[in-house]
Amino acid sequence: MTTIGHFINGRTITPQGRSQSVYNPATGNAEKSVLLASKTTVEEAITHAQTAFADWRNTPVSKRARVMFKFKHLLEENAQHITALIGQEHGKISHDAAGELQRGIENVEFACAAPHLLKGEHSKNVGPSIDSWSEFQPLGVVTGITPFNFPAMVPLWMFPLAIVCGNTFVLKPSERDPSCAMYLAQLLKEAGLPDGIFNVVNGDKEAVDVLLSDERIKAVSFVGSTPIAEYIYTTANTNAKRCQALGGAKNHAIVMPDADMDNAVNQLLGAAFGSSGERCMALSVVVAVGDEAADQLVSKMQAAMSELKVGSYQDASNDFGPLITKQHKQRVEAFITSAERQGAKIVVDGRNIQVDGYSDGFFIGATLIDSVTPIMESYQAEIFGPVLQVVRVDNMQQGMQLIDDHEYGNGTCIFTRDGEAARYFSDHIQVGMVGINVPLPVPVAYHSFGGWKRSLFGDLHAYGPDGVRFYTKRKTITQRWPSSGVREGASFSFPS
């Protein structure tokens, strides 16, 4: 069985210590093991990152960007291997994994623009012979704690931009699918990144708590569930660290009576069931306005869902794969059962699905539940599985109130042909990312990603312009060179 260690100071290490199994979720078999970093191992990674920072922060930004250009090329050159690693440990179908990787590469492309992004600002003669300028300096050693559902994309949201801004980085990926992060580290080294600047420590809460408490870590970026995001944010702030912690979601799509229903159904299929619903931007609730629209939507969804294919990542004809663990599969099934017990109608039931050749895999089929109400447990929680729930309302205002009342505010969308309704919706809805006939409104790399309410803890969103601000600190310098021979008396009034 392959043992996955840590990547510290440019090499892979496998110290003695605790470990846990890494499963192939399609087969249900433990095919690898991953070492769980001790306090000593994490501190070793931080020490090397701290040492490397002194030279890296003074490396010309154009040279830092050239490493990212090379890294981007290597990601594209090795895309097939990366997507296979994602499939083996996460279960994501190859085409879905390729899409994930491409969105990550786009963030590397943005990082390549660092010479422009870090230019700063300059004003001449703000006063007599006085010039003032701002520059953006790196923070030091920063860390990223990333989730299982995007083992390539979410780390690529973080470390390329942090590194190109002059920081050094310690990544703690999910212990459920750690191989991708280790391979990204090897590619960075091949791209010419000096040792110590990027480090990977695999582990669990023990590793996380070291990263949150060590005074040498200056900033923490996190993506995961809301309870953990709140813990990360609170602990990081207690220890005087900058922090952005992206949490959970319950994304609603309002379907108006005038919507192109066939298009809405096609869009909802991918948005609800792609990646087995294990996306923080997955559309898990349809808010249908009026019973006529709801009946039509449910009927068309039911027919379309009968054509979906579920299976292993290796077969690109499959639409989605298994859930990440047996325990998570049981959790999703429990939510479906609870909705049924509370009076909802199971229109399409994905429980007890059988996938030929993969009887022990962690599969749940696409599930459609109608007549869901806000008091139901399945509505309130983030299910994080291939489950789409339908809530019926009388008008758009009721639908918007449902969305605004929910504790999460990550993403939402509206399907309509009415420009006035779309404009009102996007202007007033209390959600951070909004789609108009776009079910997964994930911002492109040169914008920034982040929700509202309990979907984000912290002031700055991930990647894009906010990412540059998060990984740098502004320094403003005001200088004066008075004319020779001129001497002024002391002034005790505030300068203006």
- Tokens linked to 398: 């009721």
pLDDT over 80 at 237, yes or no: yes
Those residues with Cβ within 8 angstroms of residue 171's Cβ, 6 or more apart along the chain or in another chain: 143, 144, 146, 155, 158, 159, 181, 185, 198, 199, 200, 201
Q: Tens of pLDDT along 396-429? A: 999 999 999 999 999 999 999 999 999 999 999 9
- Tokens linked to 53: 């920072």
Percent of the chain with pLDDT over 90: 95
- Tokens linked to 413: 């969308």
Is the sign of the CA dihedral 286, 290, 296, 302 positive or negative? positive
- Residue 163 near residue 52, CB atoms below 8 Å: no
- The torsion region of residue 28 among left (phi > 0), alpha (psi -120 to 50) and beta comes to left
- Residue 440 near residue 410, CB atoms below 8 Å: no
pLDDT at 322: 98
- Residue 126 near residue 132, CB atoms below 8 Å: yes
pLDDT at 481: 86
- Tokens linked to 128: 């007599």
pLDDT over 90 at 14, yes or no: yes
pLDDT at 54: 97
pLDDT at 252: 97
pLDDT over 80 at 486, yes or no: no
Return the exposure string of 237-272: e unless at least 16 CB atoms fall within 10 Å of the residue's CB, then b: beeebbbbbbbbbbbbbbbbbebebeebbebbbbbb
- Residue 413 near residue 254, CB atoms below 8 Å: yes
Report how far residue 71's alpha carbon sits from residue 92's, in angstroms, rounded to the nearest whole number.
Answer: 23
Residue with tokens 């599985």: 385
Q: Tens of pLDDT along 38-92? A: 999 999 999 999 999 999 999 999 999 999 999 999 999 999 999 999 999 999 9
Percent of the chain with pLDDT over 70: 100
pLDDT band at 484 (very low <50, low <70, confident <90, very high): confident
DSSP three-state, residue 477: strand
Report how far residue 361's alpha carbon sits from residue 87's, in angstroms, rounded to the nearest whole number.
Answer: 13
pLDDT over 80 at 496, yes or no: no
pLDDT at 494: 83
β-pairing, 345-348 vs 242-246, is: unpaired
pLDDT at 349: 97
DSSP string, 8-48: ETTEEE--SS-EEEEEETTTTEEEEEEEPPPHHHHHHHHHH
Report how far residue 450's alpha carbon sits from residue 146's, in angstroms, rounded to the nearest whole number.
Answer: 15
Residue type, 370: D
Residue type, 201: V
Q: Tens of pLDDT along 333-384? A: 999 999 999 999 999 999 999 999 999 999 999 999 999 999 999 999 999 9
Does the annotation count 112 as an active-site position? no
* Chain Cα centroid distance, residue 193: 24
pLDDT over 90 at 128, yes or no: no
Residue type, 7: F
pLDDT over 90 at 495, yes or no: no
Q: Per-domain residue ranges for the chain?
A: 2-247+455-477, 251-436
φ and ψ of 358, to 5 deg: -135, 55
Common-topology check for domains 2-247+455-477 and 251-436: no
- Candidates 3.40.50.300, 3.30.720.120, 3.40.309.10, 3.40.50.720; correct CATH number of 251-436? 3.40.309.10
Q: Tens of pLDDT along 242-301? A: 999 999 999 999 999 999 999 999 999 999 999 999 999 999 999 999 999 999 999 999
pLDDT band at 488 (very low <50, low <70, confident <90, very high): confident
Q: What is the pTM of this model?
A: 0.95
φ and ψ of 268, to 5 deg: -65, -35
DSSP string, 76-87: HHTHHHHHHHHH
Q: Tens of pLDDT along 342-355? A: 999 999 999 999 99
pLDDT at 222: 98
Average pLDDT over the chain reads 96
Range 2-247+455-477: architecture per CATH: 3-Layer(aba) Sandwich (3.40)
In the predicted model, what is the mean pLDDT of residues 423-451? 96
Report how far residue 57's alpha carbon sits from residue 70's, in angstroms, rounded to the nearest whole number.
Answer: 19
From 112, 243, 280, 413, active-site residue: 280
Q: Tens of pLDDT along 168-181? A: 999 999 999 999 99
Burial of 451 (0-12, 13-18, 19+ CB in 10 A): buried
